[in-house]
Amino acid sequence: MRRDRFLLAATLTAIFSADLYFILLPKLRSVGQGTGQLCSCGPSNLTLPRLRGLATPQLSNWTSALPLDDTTTEPTDGGLKLGRLFAHPLYNIQTPELGPEERLLQVEQLMEYYRKKVSRWERHNKLYSEVAAISNISVIEHEVTFDPDASWMKFHLGISRYALYSRDDPAIPQLLRDMQSMPVVSADYTQDEKALKGACDCTQVVKPSGHHLKLALKMHDFAKAMFKPMRQNRDEETPEDFFYFVDLQRHNAEIAAFHLDRILDFRRVPPVTGRLMNITGEILQVTHNEDLRAVFFTSPANNTCFFAKCLYVCKTEYAVCGSPDLLEGSLSAYLPGLSIAPRLSIPNPWIRSYTFNGQEEWEVNPFYCDTVKQTYPYNSGNRLLNIIDMSIFDFLTGNMDRHHYEIFTRFGDEGFILHLDNARGFGKHSQDETSILAPLSQCCMIKSSTLVRLQLLARPEFRLSDVMRESMEGDPLRPILTEPHLLALDRRLQKVLRAVQRCVRRLGKDEVIIRDFVKSTVKPQTSTELIKAR
């Protein structure tokens, strides 16, 4: 009996020793060394094997890239993560020369268009000055000079089949600086605001424009930018009882969306910057629109205020006010005019129900994507993959209001999707609306280039919240986002990666991860080429 006990004790001791040596001891060593080996997203997970111009991400353990809390060890290089991110090979891919057919506009075409615009402006301005003098209306006259080498002209000429601007386009940072300081020579309602005149229907649940003020501002060199004033403080969250279609539009969300789009390397959001505007001197005194002049008033607190023109919001309680004249807002660079660069507005296949209790098919049918895949233009090319890119972008910002998207008609079905109107993002940092990811979770497809960049931004040395914070630090209205919103980006990024992982487990990575061209091609991919790439 004693011998049996001795053998049992010896066996248990041997098992415990083996566990200690082969399992527990290596873990204790890695923790003691602080090397971060418990994080399974090492450098090898981001290698890009060359496959005839294609890139395929390595997928081993790639979803456990970053803990959801804020305990990740920081690098000791001063935190300049943004510079290292843009120095990464993914952001320094050599692209071939673009041919005329791959550019949105040609130089001669754009110059002729703006020569006519300048002549029209000069005639209109002269006529208005004469009428204003007769009517004793005070209008500030600014010197206006058309500069063919202006940054906004270079921005327009840089738009290609693949993106609104190239990764290293020096015109973009210059355009941001110009919009921050250029004198405003004219202010007016935007064209869609003008279209509402006499068309306001108070019986509609969703109004055509709501009380979301936006103005078109013209600068001294004929640059044009859309101004959205501040309507909500940064530390305010959207009230829980608000539907997404009655939510406020946030100027800082427009700014943050531009930086996020650039960091994700989509480059589908026009340049946006913040600016502190004097709404008396830079809007009221330079506008030629009498309707706009008529909505300015002085509040009981002696602040200058103005409101939208639509009847159901033509009230002082919907106004925005300066302090007393200064008001911060976002300035978004205008795209080329529709007459020279026409765009097509297309309903989002995953459009939401804009009623109080309705539901769309995708909300009740888990196989909805199978129908979409058989429908033009999502049955070939990369349109569906671009929709999935957009859903990831919207999920990270929390924007539920993507009812339409736009494309340039010149590039046809293979053109990229514009990520316009992002002001309803970043409303709730404490809630993640996973239904925004329906295109990804239902279709179970994602571009390999998109996935690799998401993996990269989940690593501690390139953490998304950190590079976003650094990127927005140069904006005049910094801080653009509060810390809870920045940390929410990291949390949501993990959820995107987990959604991809679930798809890979169910279907296999060859079905989920779609290999795409990392560098631009001379001609767009055909549907046959896309199928072969899969």
pLDDT in tens, 177-203: 999 999 999 999 887 666 655 444 444
Nearest in space to 66 (alpha carbons), one of 362, 522, 489 = 489
Six token digits for residue 133: 């003098």
Q: What is the pLDDT of residue 373?
A: 95
Specify whether 152 is located in the same domain as 232: yes
The structural domain count of the chain equals: 2
Q: Determine if residue 317 is labeled as part of a ligand binding site.
A: no
Pairing of strands 50-51, 304-306: unpaired
Q: Which of 333, 360, 387 is the last residue of a domain?
A: 333
Q: Determine if residue 334 is labeled as part of a ligand binding site.
A: yes
Share of the chain above pLDDT 70, in %: 73
Specify whether 148 is located in the same domain as 257: yes
For the CA atoms of 442, 447, 450, 454, the dihedral, rounded to the nearest 10 degrees, stands at 50
Neighbours of 402 (CB within 10 A): 23
Indicate whether 137 belongs to any domain: yes
Domain that holds residue 234: 100-333
CA distance 482 to 479: 7
- Mean pLDDT for 5-16 is 57
CA distance 338 to 286: 25
**Residue 24 phi, psi (nearest 5):** -70, -45
- Mean pLDDT for 232-240 is 76
With 0-12 CB in 10 A as exposed, 13-18 as middle and 19+ as buried, what is 81?
buried
pLDDT over 50 at 528, yes or no: no
Specify whether 310 is located in the same domain as 361: no
Q: Of 401, 466, 475, 516, which one is the catalytic site residue? A: 401
Q: What is the pLDDT of residue 246?
A: 58
- Mean pLDDT for 207-231 is 81
**Would residue 241 show up in a list of annotated catalytic residues for this protein?**
no
Neighbours of 131 (CB within 10 A): 12
* Helix, strand and coil in the chain, % to nearest 5: 45, 10, 45
Specify the DSSP class assigned to residue 182. Answer: P
CA distances in angstroms from 225 to 228, 266, 318, 422, listed in the order given:
10, 21, 23, 15
Residues paired with residue 330 on neighbouring β-strands, in sequence order: 228, 274
Six token digits for residue 244: 């997404």
| Size of the chain, expressed as the number of residues it contains | 534
With 0-12 CB in 10 A as exposed, 13-18 as middle and 19+ as buried, what is 11?
exposed
Indicate whether 90 belongs to any domain: no
DSSP 153-168: HHHHHT-BSS-SS-TT
pLDDT band at 248 (very low <50, low <70, confident <90, very high): confident
- Mean pLDDT for 371-379 is 95
pLDDT band at 232 (very low <50, low <70, confident <90, very high): confident
Specify whether 415 is located in the same domain as 514: yes
Q: What is the pLDDT of residue 77?
A: 45
Nearest in space to 288 (alpha carbons), one of 224, 225, 337, 218 = 218
Specify whether 365 is located in the same domain as 389: yes
Tens of pLDDT, residues 93-149: 877 788 888 999 999 999 999 888 888 888 887 787 777 778 777 667 777 888 999
pLDDT band at 350 (very low <50, low <70, confident <90, very high): very high
- Mean pLDDT for 149-171 is 95
Indicate whether 52 belongs to any domain: no
Tell me which of 163-172, 200-209, 232-241 is least confident.
200-209
Q: Which of 298, 333, 368 is the last residue of a domain?
A: 333
On average, the pLDDT of the chain sits at 80
Q: Which of 333, 357, 372 is the last residue of a domain?
A: 333
Q: What is the pLDDT of residue 141?
A: 72
pLDDT band at 23 (very low <50, low <70, confident <90, very high): very low
Check: CB of residue 36 under 8 Å from CB of residue 73. yes
Specify whether 301 is located in the same domain as 350: no
Check: CB of residue 464 under 8 Å from CB of residue 82. no
pLDDT over 70 at 58, yes or no: no
Kindly report the pTM of this predicted structure. Answer: 0.81
Neighbours of 156 (CB within 10 A): 24
CA distance 460 to 464: 9
Pairing of strands 446-447, 513-514: parallel
Residues paired with residue 332 on neighbouring β-strands, in sequence order: 226, 272
Indicate whether 475 belongs to any domain: yes
Check: CB of residue 41 under 8 Å from CB of residue 458. yes
Indicate whether 400 belongs to any domain: yes
Specify whether 408 is located in the same domain as 301: no
Specify whether 106 is located in the same domain as 254: yes
Specify whether 357 is located in the same domain as 453: yes
Tens of pLDDT, residues 477-508: 999 999 999 999 999 999 999 999 999 999 99
pLDDT over 70 at 20, yes or no: no
Specify whether 234 is located in the same domain as 158: yes
CA distance 380 to 426: 33
Specify whether 223 is located in the same domain as 357: no
Q: Determine if residue 421 is labeled as part of a ligand binding site.
A: yes
Indicate whether 225 belongs to any domain: yes
Specify whether 291 is located in the same domain as 143: yes
pLDDT band at 73 (very low <50, low <70, confident <90, very high): very low
Residues paired with residue 189 on neighbouring β-strands, in sequence order: 215
Indicate whether 328 belongs to any domain: yes
Indicate whether 95 belongs to any domain: no
Q: Which residues contact 140 (CB under 8 A, 6 or more apart)?
A: 281, 285, 286
Q: What is the pLDDT of residue 29?
A: 42
Q: Determine if residue 406 is labeled as part of a ligand binding site.
A: yes
Q: Which residues contact 41 (CB under 8 A, 6 or more apart)?
A: 61, 62, 64, 65, 66, 455, 458, 459
Q: Determine if residue 333 is labeled as part of a ligand binding site.
A: yes
- Mean pLDDT for 375-384 is 93
pLDDT over 50 at 17, yes or no: yes
- Mean pLDDT for 232-239 is 77
